[in-house]
Amino acid sequence: MQMHKNEQIELSGQSIFAGKDVHKKSWMVSVYTEEVLHKTFITPQSRRL
């Protein structure tokens, strides 16, 4: 079982951006602030959205 570490960071006054690369079977999502890439993950495509 993989454990996840929850970490809080201060983002007050910063712009937050999310980018997604959509393919037939999966989506790649990246979360950025003005200068830092914070997280990229791949998720299966969802027909409910």
Question: pTM here?
Answer: 0.59
3-state per-residue secondary structure call for the chain: CCCCCCCCCCCCCCCCEEEEEECCCEEEEEEECCCCEEEEEEEECCCCC
DSSP state of 27: E
Domain residue spans in the chain?
A: 15-49
The reported pLDDT for the residue numbered 1 is: 58
Please, which pLDDT band fits residue 4 given cuts at 50, 70 and 90?
Answer: confident
- Model confidence over 15-45: pLDDT tens digits? 989 998 888 888 898 999 888 888 898 988 8
The reported pLDDT for the residue numbered 47 is: 66
CA distance 18 to 24: 19
The reported pLDDT for the residue numbered 30 is: 92
